[in-house]
């Protein structure tokens, strides 16, 4: 009986907070400035009262979320980082939390799997074989040890040959060797197959769902993103 009463009291205490958050979101959504600044496909999906300002969670067209702030009268929208007295970038912390990927939903069995050493640390990479930063990041990864790398392909429109090369990699008899050749700037041949084309399209759709807007994008085993060729973050994670 006591347990039931405790659960009921906790539920009652939680309701006002939920209602407050919902009310803040409705108020913020009514601000004309947001409709003028953000296109229709960009949605405000969360709002929080920080005292003097509101924090906005804005979902972009590609699916990733960003943090903005607005004055309480709705006159101004602020873009940038919010720090506390301990010099912690609260905006960055919140964005990393919001954009964390549920790794359990990724079809890792379909990715190109590369194991170095004991394979202890798992790392996921969305890559374009013609992307210079992907090439440099992968070249650096080859100097590291004890990780398992899962590669999903995300050919960018700015590299028109990349998709064809990716299909050739997936249709080759030795995809890993073909990938190594392509990412190092060597020829990969012109192999083609319907299964390879379908898989590239599937991985492009996966990248869109995850919110890839540039390559390389790395995702750690816990779902944290490492955007671009951020060697210090990669090094810290792999160690």
| Cβ contacts of 98-101, under 8 Å, gap ≥ 24 | 98/57, 98/65, 98/67, 99/64, 99/65, 99/211, 99/225, 100/222, 100/223, 100/224, 100/225, 101/210, 101/219, 101/223, 101/225
194: tokens are: 């319907």
- In angstroms, rounded to a whole number, what is the distance separating the alpha carbons of residues 187 and 16? 62
Domains (ranges, CATH) in the chain?
Answer: 2-98 (3.10.450.70), 103-238 (3.40.30.10)
pLDDT of residue 184: 92
Answer yes or no: are the C-beta atoms of 63 and 210 closer than 8 Å.
yes
Q: Which letter does DSSP use for residue 103 in this model?
A: G
Answer yes or no: are the C-beta atoms of 182 and 169 closer than 8 Å.
yes
pLDDT tens per residue, range 100-110? 999 999 999 99
- In angstroms, rounded to a whole number, what is the distance separating the alpha carbons of residues 53 and 10? 28
Provide the whole-model pTM. Answer: 0.80
Element (H, E) at 93: helix 90-98
184: tokens are: 């190092």
pLDDT tens per residue, range 104-140? 999 999 999 999 999 999 999 999 999 999 999 999 9
Per-residue pLDDT 10s for the chain (239 aa) are: 555 555 545 554 554 545 456 789 999 999 999 989 999 888 999 999 999 999 999 998 777 899 999 999 999 999 999 999 999 999 989 988 988 999 999 999 999 999 999 999 999 999 999 999 999 999 999 999 999 999 999 999 999 999 999 999 999 999 999 999 999 999 998 889 999 999 999 999 999 999 998 999 999 999 999 999 999 999 999 98
Q: Which residue, among 66, 56, 137, has the nearest Cα to 95 in the 3D structure?
A: 66
């Amino acid at each position: 009986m006591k347990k039931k009463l405790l659960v009921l009291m906790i539920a009652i205490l939680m309701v006002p907070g939920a209602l407050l958050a919902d009310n803040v979101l409705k108020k913020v959504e009514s601000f004309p400035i947001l409709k003028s600044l953000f296109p229709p496909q960009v949605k405000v999906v969360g709002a929080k009262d920080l005292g003097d300002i509101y924090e906005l969670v804005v979902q972009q067209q590609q699916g990733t979320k960003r943090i903005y702030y607005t004055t309480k009268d709705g006159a101004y929208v602020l873009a940038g980082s919010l720090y506390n007295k301990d010099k912690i970038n609260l905006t960055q912390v919140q964005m990393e939390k919001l954009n964390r990927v549920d790794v359990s939903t990724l079809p890792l069995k379909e990715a190109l799997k590369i194991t170095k050493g004991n394979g202890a640390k798992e790392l996921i990479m969305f890559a374009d074989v013609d992307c210079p930063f992907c090439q440099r990041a992968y070249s650096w990864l080859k100097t590291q040890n004890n990780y398992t790398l899962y590669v999903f392909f995300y050919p960018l429109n700015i590299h028109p040959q990349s998709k064809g090369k990716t299909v050739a990699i997936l249709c080759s008899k030795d995809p890993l060797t073909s990938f190594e050749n392509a990412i190092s700037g060597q020829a990969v041949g012109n192999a083609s197959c319907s299964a390879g084309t379908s898989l590239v399209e599937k991985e492009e759709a996966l990248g869109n769902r995850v919110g890839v807007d540039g390559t390389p994008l790395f995702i750690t085993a816990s779902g944290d993103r490492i955007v671009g060729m951020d060697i210090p973050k990669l090094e810290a994670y792999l160690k």
